[in-house]
Structure 1
């Protein structure tokens, strides 16, 4: 048994106090009676008095107050099974963790801005399953499809370019990994819309992604893209490991400082081919609100009908018993009605 408002149980301490008070009043009344009245006179003055009825009134009233206090405390006994039905879309976010995502043409950096917007997306989710794939040249599933948004945030927080063995970008491998994640769903035949959101600066150093993209289309997976960066581009800063101290800028094999730009056309082509849409974040105050609005329009399916056991409220019965005893206390007479 558990209690909804256990503090009310402290009121039960007043019931023994009330018993003592009633006994004390009865004792005082008998003392006065014996002092001023003879037993015969007192009996004649209280003709028809029913001592048992008086005691029953007090017992019923105190019992009613006991059950009322217990009802206020909200007892929960046993269990009941409840069913929760969730409706939403299946969405997989593919986040580019290549070195160019450290560029700071979008403040504080392309990667940090992307993570901030993904967190905003998570805050808006209601019953949608979402997973996270991180990719460069070697992608992997950072978080499988889940309804546990807190766990998803933890996986997102630790996503960093330093965790990846490659600094290049390969959309083909990211798409193949995303397709495998969708196909691994137990209820893959759900009516819920399937969405892949690719967040990247658009630089692609891998093989042609056309075949992988067509496989996504065949599985009725909508592909949306979000470009992060500016057309002017900027350099890629390098910081001392574990600190914010700038030690230089990324250079190519010839020793030249690398300049990275947003390659929006690649992302536009991916979205257009897969019947999705392209969005961009080119300034720090831009977000993915347009994509969030589009999410609300997608077909939602029921894919998480869950049952769980919970303690069952029993305060109703306590309340009924309290009412019966209190009413009984009022109805019980203190004097018996006798015919002359």
Structure 2
């Protein structure tokens, strides 16, 4: 479902405010009434009055108004599923979630800057299938390759260093996961001529096994590996924040108790890109890193992808408007009954 005029949905916030105002007015009226009428006298004055009807009247009023607001916003529902074909490449993004990505030598932090750049990348994709891998010493396919960019953004937003079981980095784990993801895609969908790309975003600190064997397997399967470095050569400490308050409580230390300084390791990332038949870029203060990678993507061989999407969207406001008018009519009838 999509909305033709979603701005009108903000009017729904007025409904709770109106309910609160009416409740407050009712309490004040009751306090004033108690000064002039005893409970017994007021019960006699209420003879023939239907208290439940008053509640039904108010509920009908607000339900009717809510439905009319939704109708004005113009809900559109796809009435037909069509196969949509697009041209693009296959892209897997591997995001490093090791603790060093919490360093703040790149503002607001290496991880948040990386997520922002991935989001910018997705915004500028046109017909490419994209998936997301998160990794430290282990690696997981967070989002399989898809043309549904909104779904991938949801997985990207929740990516955090706290969700991984280890805090070190092993590039071979990310590469092996990427290989399995590509093999699974070929099994499930017809193969295309699209270029296969793995983009690794990291500060380059590798604590795992040698990645040469994993890179060889990627090369044999025609998967190019590009790397995007984030961080500074001067380095930074790794802050530790309280989970509840968000206050800084210290900095990460090594086994000897010394404060750790983490630095960008471009040599490692350059070596991966060179062996992986890709290129190395860096995320600095500007946007040149991700922009350069996007320019390279446009030069790669494009393939044709097909996906099932809802089409032929039709406005369904009339159903909501009709129901809203019925509820308002009920409210008006009960209001006239109360007056009589």
TM-score when normalising by structure 1 = 0.66
- Aligned-partner Cα distance in 1 for 2:219–2:247: 45
User: How far apart are residue 155 of structure 1 and its match?
Assistant: 0.3
Correspondence for 1:212: 214
Report the aligned-residue RMSD. Answer: 2.4
Correspondence for 2:234: 232
Correspondence for 2:113: 113
Correspondence for 2:122: 122
For residues 39-58 of structure 1, what are the alpha-carbon distances to aligned partners after superposition, in whole Å with 9 as ceiling and x for unaligned? xxxxxxxxxxxxxxxxxxxx
For residues 234-256 of structure 1, what are the alpha-carbon distances to aligned partners after superposition, in whole Å with 9 as ceiling and x for unaligned? 10001011333110000000000
- Aligned-partner Cα distance in 2 for 1:308–1:276: 36
Residue 227 of structure 2 contacts residue 281 of structure 2 at CA under 8 Å; is this kept in 1?
yes
Correspondence for 1:289: 291
Residue 240 of structure 1 contacts residue 247 of structure 1 at CA under 8 Å; is this kept in 2?
yes
For residues 192-212 of structure 1, what are the alpha-carbon distances to aligned partners after superposition, in whole Å with 9 as ceiling and x for unaligned? 111000000000000001000
Correspondence for 1:55: none
- Aligned-partner Cα distance in 1 for 2:192–2:100: 37
Q: Assess, with a 3 A threshold, how the Cα gap between structure 1 residues 165 and 82 changes in structure 2: closer, same or farther.
A: closer
Q: Which runs of 5+ in 1 are unaligned?
A: 5-78, 313-340
The equivalent position to 1:280 in structure 2, one of 279, 282, 285, is 282
- After superposition, residues 237-248 of structure 1 pair within 5 angstroms as 237-248=239-250
> Which one is further off, 188-197 or 201-210?
188-197
User: How far apart are residue 283 of structure 1 and its match?
Assistant: 3.0
Q: Assess, with a 3 A threshold, how the Cα gap between structure 1 residues 97 and 184 changes in structure 2: closer, same or farther.
A: same
Correspondence for 1:251: 253
User: How far apart are residue 227 of structure 1 and its match?
Assistant: 0.3
Correspondence for 1:321: none
Q: Assess, with a 3 A threshold, how the Cα gap between structure 1 residues 308 and 103 changes in structure 2: closer, same or farther.
A: closer
For residues 11-35 of structure 1, what are the alpha-carbon distances to aligned partners after superposition, in whole Å with 9 as ceiling and x for unaligned? xxxxxxxxxxxxxxxxxxxxxxxxx
SS in 1 for 2:118: helix
For residues 171-190 of structure 1, what are the alpha-carbon distances to aligned partners after superposition, in whole Å with 9 as ceiling and x for unaligned? 01110011101111023631
Correspondence for 1:267: 269
User: How far apart are residue 274 of structure 1 and its match?
Assistant: 1.3
- Aligned-partner Cα distance in 2 for 1:196–1:245: 36
Correspondence for 2:151: 151
Number of matched pairs: 238
For residues 125-175 of structure 1, what are the alpha-carbon distances to aligned partners after superposition, in whole Å with 9 as ceiling and x for unaligned? 111110000000011111111111111001000000011110000001110
Q: Assess, with a 3 A threshold, how the Cα gap between structure 1 residues 190 and 113 changes in structure 2: closer, same or farther.
A: same
TM-score when normalising by structure 2 = 0.66
Residue 87 of structure 1 contacts residue 304 of structure 1 at CA under 8 Å; is this kept in 2?
no
- Aligned-partner Cα distance in 2 for 1:307–1:135: 31
- Aligned-partner Cα distance in 2 for 1:308–1:255: 57
- Aligned-partner Cα distance in 2 for 1:154–1:80: 26
Larger radius of gyration: 1
Q: Which runs of 5+ in 2 are unaligned?
A: 5-78, 315-340
User: How far apart are residue 308 of structure 1 and its match?
Assistant: 6.0
- Aligned-partner Cα distance in 2 for 1:248–1:90: 41
SS in 2 for 1:232: coil
